[in-house]
Amino acid sequence: MAAILEVEGLHVAYGATPVLHGVGFTVEARGITTILGANGAGKTTTLRAVSGMVPPVGTVRFDGRRIDGRASEDIARLGIAHVPEGRGTFVGFTVEENLRLGAYVRRDRVAVGHDLERVYAHFPILGARRRQAAGTLSGGEQQMLALARALMLRPRLLLLDEPSLGLAPIVVQEIFRIVRAINERDGVSVLLVEQNATLALGLADRAYLLETGRVVLAGPADEIQRDDAIRRAYLGY
């Protein structure tokens, strides 16, 4: 299988503080890759570097084309949808306005209308609240809205930053179920950053473990999940 995203030698620094020291990983086309690691390992920064929110040093190839150094609005237009940490919904806007913003770069208005209905079928709670301000939604509903908004772009690659953060387990399972459905049905590739290793390894086909800005472990997700030594040493369960 060909890789849709290839990252090599990624360095990022915030001011004088280096955060990533030559991170490399791939996401297969139609695959799900997860990046695991503790707080401060550089997971969020890695996603931000891919989507151009922070300027990276190194190479980032999307579908074979270099995208490092490009503006994040251009990267979004190529078909990479980033659901940021903290969700980044437009709180003063209605649910439907948030979704329309997600589809902003698309010109196929009819298909956008269909996708809107599809999103409401995936997430019935969003349909029920479509005229409500996004800021009035619960945490789980906002995470669903953030995911739904990203899907409105019709992305080829979805970047998910800690979708389980602060949510009840039942909501988390619902969100992971939807991510799997999107991946299987629509062939959207996923790069998932998570602290919840069990959940992430259950979903992903490839996994990378990040420690203080370096990849310390890489391999197929099921192998990592089965290896007790790795689990105890790195994942702590």
Partner 1 sequence: MAIDTFFQQVVSGLATGGIYASLALALVMIYQATEIVNFAQGEMAMFSTYLAWSMLNAGLPYWAAFFGTLVVAFLGGLLIERVVVRPVEGQPVLTLVIVCIGLLVILNSLAGWIYSYVIQPFPSPFPRTPIRIGKVVFGQHDLGVIVVTLVLLCLLFVFFRYTTLGLAMRAAAQNPGSSRLCGIRVGGMLALGWGLAALVGAVAGMLIAPVIFLEPNMMGGILIYAFAAATLGGITSPFGAVVGGFLVGVIENLAGTYIPFIGTELKLTVALMIIVVVLLVRPSGLFGHAVVRRV
Q: Give the integer Cα–Cα distance in Å for 206 and 226.
A: 13
Q: Which of 97, 174, 186, 211 binds partner 1 (CB under 8 A)?
A: 97
- Decide if residue 234 touches partner 1 (CB under 8 A): no
- Decide if residue 102 touches partner 1 (CB under 8 A): yes
User: How near is the Cβ of 79 to partner 1 at its closest, in Å?
Assistant: 10
Q: Could you tell me if residue 224 is left (phi over 0), alpha (psi between -120 and 50 degrees) or otherwise beta?
A: alpha
Scan for tokens 């196929």, then name that residue: 108
- Decide if residue 51 touches partner 1 (CB under 8 A): yes
Question: Between residues 65 and 237, which has the closer beta carbon with respect to partner 1?
Answer: 65
User: How near is the Cβ of 158 to partner 1 at its closest, in Å?
Assistant: 12
Mark the segment that binds partner 1 (CB under 8 A) among 7-15, 61-69, 76-84, 176-184: 76-84
Cα 147 from chain centroid (whole Å): 9
Q: Which of 26, 33, 45, 89 binds partner 1 (CB under 8 A)?
A: 89
Size of residue set near partner 1 by CB under 8 A: 25
User: How near is the Cβ of 99 to partner 1 at its closest, in Å?
Assistant: 10
- Decide if residue 84 touches partner 1 (CB under 8 A): yes
- 3-state class of 214 per DSSP? strand
- 3-state class of 178 per DSSP? helix
- Decide if residue 230 touches partner 1 (CB under 8 A): no
User: How near is the Cβ of 84 to partner 1 at its closest, in Å?
Assistant: 7
- Decide if residue 44 touches partner 1 (CB under 8 A): no
Helix axes 95-102, 109-122, angle to 10 degrees: 130
Q: 3-state SS of 10-65?
A: EEEEECCEEEEEEEEEEEECCCEEEEEECCCCCHHHHHHHHCCCCCCEEEEEECCE
User: How far, in Å, are 49, 104, 140, 169, 229 from residue 175 at the CA level?
Assistant: 24, 24, 9, 10, 29
- Decide if residue 206 touches partner 1 (CB under 8 A): no
Q: Which helix (H) or strand (E) holds 217?
A: strand 214-220
- Decide if residue 2 touches partner 1 (CB under 8 A): no
Residues that bind partner 1 (CB under 8 A): 51-53, 71-74, 76-77, 81-82, 84, 88-90, 92-93, 97, 100-102, 104-105, 149, 153
